[in-house]
Structure 1
Amino acid sequence: MTIRGSALRNLTIAATLLATAGASTGAANQDPDWPCIQRKVPELSLGQIWNGPELPPEAREWAGDKDVAELVSEVAARRVPIEEAQQEIRDFADGLPTEQLKPQLAKLVQGLFDHMNAERSQVISGIARYARKQVELAARLRKEASEVDALRNKPDADPNQIAAQTDRLTWETRIFEERVQSLTYVCEVPTLIEQRLYALAKTVGEVMAGK
C-alpha cells in the first residue's frame, strides 16, 4: 500500500475532522480557528456563576488579601477534588469573625471569578493556536505525502531515500493523529473550568446565606 493509501488517507481524515469542527461552529463563533463542538465564549460574566448579593467594590481588592488569594489558588486548581475544595471554603468561613464573614466571602467570590475566568480565557486562546498549527501541519504533511508518492513513481528513485522519507512521514502523521485525538479532551477544559467555578461560587453563596 502506498503512502497515499495509508498515512495520507488517515491524515486527510484527521484534517477533515478539524475542518468540519471549525465549520460547524464558525457561523456562531465567527472564528475560523475554533475547532470545538462547544460554543466559543471567550469570557464569562459574573452573573453567569453568581446569584448571591451584589459584591461590594472592595471585593475587587481580593488579590491584596493573602488568605483569600491563597484560598483562591488552592480551590481553583482542578487537581483538588471539588468536594475537598468546597470543604476548604466552609472551613475558611468557619474561622472568620462574624463581622468579617460577608466581606471576606465577597472577596473570595470575586477572586474565584477573576482567577478562573482568566484561566479559562487562556485555555480558549491556546485551543485556537493549537488547532491553527494542526491545520498548517496537515497541509505540510499532505504536501510531503504527495512528494513521497511522486518519488516512488520515479524509476530511478533511491529506495533508501524513499524508505527514509516514508518512515519520517509515517511518524509525523502518527503524532498529528494523536494530537487530533487529544483535542477532544482539550475542548472540554473550558467547560470543566466553568462548571467548577459555578460549583465553588454556589458553595460560597450557601455558606453566606446560612450564616
Structure 2
Amino acid sequence: MIRSAINGVAVAMLLATTGTALSAANNDPDWPCIQRKVPELSFGQIWTGAELPPPAKDWSNDSRVPELVEELAARRLPIADAQRQIREFAAGLPPDQAKDRLAMLVQGLFEHMDHERSEVMSGIGRYARNQIELAARLRKESSDVDALRGKPDANISEIDARTDRLIWETRVFEERVQSLTYVCEVPTLIEQRLYALAKTVNEVMKEGE
C-alpha cells in the first residue's frame, strides 16, 4: 500500500512535469511549471515609453537609485506604496535631472528584477530535479521494504523503522509537490510587478514633459 501511494505521487509529479512542458511548447525537461519558460525578459516587454537616454546605463553609480531599486523590487512592499515612492522620488528631483534619473530608475528596476527572476527560475529547475530524484529513491526504498517484508527471517524492527522513514519522506515529497504551484507563480509575479513599476515611471516622466 505504501509503494502504491508513493508511486501515485511520483507519477503525478512526472506527468505534471512532462505535460506542462509539452503544453507550453517547452523542451526543457527540468521545467515543471504550466507557465511557459522565458529565461530572460526583453526591455521592450515592460517599457512602452520613449527610448532611454545613455545615462540610464549608469544607474548603479547614482547616489540614490540603487537603494531605491532594491526597495521597490521587494515584493513585501505593497505595489501602491512602491508607486508612491516613485512619485516622491520624482518630485524631489531638480528639473534638469528628472529625465535622466528616472531613466536610470527604470533601467535599474529592469536589470535587478530580471536577474532576480532568472535566479528564481534556475531554482525551480533545481527543485524539479530534486523532486524527480527523490521520487526515484522513494520508489526504490518502497520496493526494498516490500522485498524485506516478504522474507521469512525479516527483522521486524528494521522493517518498522524503514517504513516510518519512508512515510515521513513521502509526506515531505507530497508537500513539496503541493508547494510547486506557488513557486511557479513567482517569476510571473516579478514580471507583473516590474511592468507596473515601469508603467508608473513612464507616467511620471510624461507628466514632467
CA 1:15/1:153 → structure 2, altered by over 3 Å: closer, same or farther? farther
CA 1:30/1:83 → structure 2, altered by over 3 Å: closer, same or farther? same
Alpha-carbon RMSD across the aligned residues, in angstroms, is 1.3
Give me the whole-angstrom Cα distance separating, in 2, the residues matched to 1:19 and 1:174. 22
Between 1:195-204 and 1:145-154, the stretch displaced more is 145-154
Cα deviation, 1:95-134, whole Å, max 9, x if unaligned, reads 0011111011000010000000000011111101110111
Tell whether 2:125 aligns with 1:104.
Answer: no
Task: State the SS of the aligned residue for 1:4.
Answer: helix
Alignment of 1:28-39 (within 5 A): 28-39=25-36
Task: State the SS of the aligned residue for 2:49.
Answer: coil
Alignment of 1:1-211 (within 5 A): 2-25=1-24, 28-211=25-208
Task: State the SS of the aligned residue for 2:3.
Answer: coil
Give me the whole-angstrom Cα distance separating, in 1, the residues matched to 2:156 and 2:21. 39
CA 1:10/1:29 → structure 2, altered by over 3 Å: closer, same or farther? closer
Q: Which amino acid aligns with 1:13?
A: A
Identity %: 66
Shift of 1:19: 3.9
Q: Give structure 2 stretches of 5+ with no counterpart.
A: none
Aligned partners of 1:3 and 1:149 also within 8 Å = no
Aligned partners of 1:11 and 1:173 also within 8 Å = no
Cα deviation, 1:3-48, whole Å, max 9, x if unaligned, reads 22434444443444334334443xx222111000000000001110
Q: Which amino acid aligns with 1:179?
A: R
Give me the whole-angstrom Cα distance separating, in 2, the residues matched to 1:24 and 1:165. 38
Shift of 1:155: 1.7
Give me the whole-angstrom Cα distance separating, in 1, the residues matched to 2:88 and 2:143. 63
Cα deviation, 1:149-187, whole Å, max 9, x if unaligned, reads 111111211111110000000000100111111111000
**Normalising to structure 1: TM-score of the pair?**
0.94
Aligned partners of 2:31 and 2:37 also within 8 Å = yes
Give me the whole-angstrom Cα distance separating, in 2, the residues matched to 1:148 and 1:22. 33
Give me the whole-angstrom Cα distance separating, in 2, the residues matched to 1:150 and 1:102. 72
Give me the whole-angstrom Cα distance separating, in 2, the residues matched to 1:96 and 1:42. 35
**Normalising to structure 2: TM-score of the pair?**
0.95
CA 1:162/1:8 → structure 2, altered by over 3 Å: closer, same or farther? farther
